[in-house]
Amino acid sequence: MLQILRTYSYVPFPYFGSPIKLNLDSFTRLRCLRLWNTDVTDKWLLDLSHKFPFLEHLELCCCSMSERITISGAQLMILEFTNDSDLKEVNIDAPNLLSFDYCGDHRAIISFLTSSDHLVFNASPVHEFTHGYYSLREFIQNIKPQKVLASLSLSVYHSNGIEQNCLSIQQVSSIPPSIKCLELDSSPRNETLYFRYMDWLLFCCCPKTISFVFQYECGLKPFTVFIYELLMGRKKQELFDYFGDTKCWWHDLKIVKVTYSFNVDENVDFKTTLNALLLPTDDPESVSFSLEL
């Protein structure tokens, strides 16, 4: 019976004494495997494709593993990886991989040895406030090969440390790598830092889309309106007052299209529409800007 099992999920219960010793060697026809808070050895990961030749979906959540890991699978199509340890390097060898969700250390190097041309890559770099300033640009530069960035949706979910990052910007005039989407759920509460925060975000990447996610009242609405008016060319004087003659590449960005996840009245202006959105909501709502230079 074990040989025909297709899906297996394992979550240890810490209050039931020592965790059971997990032996999956008999589950040779697994297609979906989910492991939480489990010790995963390098050898087990290296043998993954041999042990489970039909595995299509692998989820590793808060598992204990070494600083450098390699995940491989000839049939692997979906990989979900969440890790709160100081992981330094993730190597992925999966020629048919269609979806990779990463939530882990912002300093990790992520290398795709092989992957599908249709890959959807979602990343949420985790930042511990005790680590101080961190660079999204460095996180993106640590993703190899660079062609994978065209499929990257980068989620910046944080509130602690925003001000610290805003005050540690390195100006660059060149256009950084293009990514698919930049997703935000928070912003500085101090409106005087809006320009700095925008600069910090777009110092790292050139997104095809910027998406603002609303679920709780966390001060994101005013920042979204600020970005909208900035990209629509309504803050030229403020832009000059802040930057002077210094011109950053993103000053030429334009909004091509605004899309909403909720119903809107086309006759109502953007600011009024956004302020009418009632928060909190049961499910996240979003406003997205499609951009071009």
Delimit the domains of the chain by residue range. Answer: 1-112, 127-293
Give the Cβ contact number of residue 250 at 10 Å. Answer: 19
Give the Cα separation of 272 and 291 in Å (integer).
Answer: 22
**SS3 of residue 287 by DSSP:** strand
N-terminal to C-terminal alpha carbon distance within the chain: 58
**SS3 of residue 236 by DSSP:** helix
Give the Cα separation of 275 and 260 in Å (integer).
Answer: 13
Q: Alpha-carbon torsion 15, 20, 22, 27, what sign?
A: negative
Give the Cα separation of 280 and 156 in Å (integer).
Answer: 20
List, run by run, the mean pLDDT of 10-residue segments along the chain (293 residues).
66 58 72 89 84 92 90 94 84 96 91 94 78 74 94 82 63 81 90 87 92 90 94 83 80 92 94 93 95 89
pTM over 0.85: yes
Q: Please tell me what DSSP assigns to residue 19.
A: P
pLDDT at 170: 59
